């Protein structure tokens, strides 16, 4: 039984190393510094320890279950469903849409990944996850693909995320 377990562990390690080498050729990780200490001026995702500097015009909207901008219909939200599934050791399903980019990222010292999905002919979703062996957080940003400036603003906001881990 031990041999079977160690064989299985070895296979998983080899596969993970192979996948890691394949990912390295895409891009290097953005390292988001832990320099921000004063989260008092930042927006908080309700019920979480996650703070973010929002782009101009984004305000909390209960209907959108996230920060919404009326001007262009963009949303930045905390994905509680994926976080709960992760905490319950359940598979976290990928977004509908086609994956167009993935990039390793470090948020507040925690490793993660930023994925970009094309959703239909008009929408883009940025899916960010980060954490460690004790927790994982999922943040999403959605906007219309004709809004290049909105993409830059959401990406810049993601890079301001701070976690007050409890």
Residue ranges per structural domain of the chain: 27-163
Report how far residue 16's alpha carbon sits from residue 22's, in angstroms, rounded to the nearest whole number: 10
Region of poorest pLDDT, from 19-28, 40-49, 126-135, 138-147: 19-28
Residue-wise pLDDT tens digits, 34-55? 444 567 789 999 989 999 999 9
Instruction: Name the CATH superfamily housing domain 27-163.
Output: Mog1/PsbP, alpha/beta/alpha sandwich (3.40.1000.10)
pLDDT band for position 131 (cuts 50, 70, 90): very high
């Amino acid at each position: 039984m031990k041999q079977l377990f160690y064989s299985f562990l070895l296979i998983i390690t080899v596969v993970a190393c192979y996948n890691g080498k394949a990912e390295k050729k895409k891009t290097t990780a953005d390292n988001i510094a832990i320099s921000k200490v004063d989260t008092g001026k930042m927006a908080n995702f309700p019920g979480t320890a996650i703070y973010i500097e929002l782009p101009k015009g984004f305000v909390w909207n209960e209907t959108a279950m996230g920060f919404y901008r009326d001007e262009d219909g963009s949303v930045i939200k905390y994905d509680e469903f994926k976080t709960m599934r992760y905490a319950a050791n359940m598979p976290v399903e990928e977004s509908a849409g086609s994956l167009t980019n993935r990039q390793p990222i470090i948020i507040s010292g925690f490793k993660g990944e930023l994925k970009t999905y094309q959703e239909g002919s008009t929408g883009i979703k940025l899916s960010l996850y980060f954490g460690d062996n004790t927790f994982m957080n999922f943040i999403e940003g959605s906007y219309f693909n004709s809004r290049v400036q909105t993409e830059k603003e959401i990406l810049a906001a993601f890079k301001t995320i701070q976690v007050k881990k409890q």
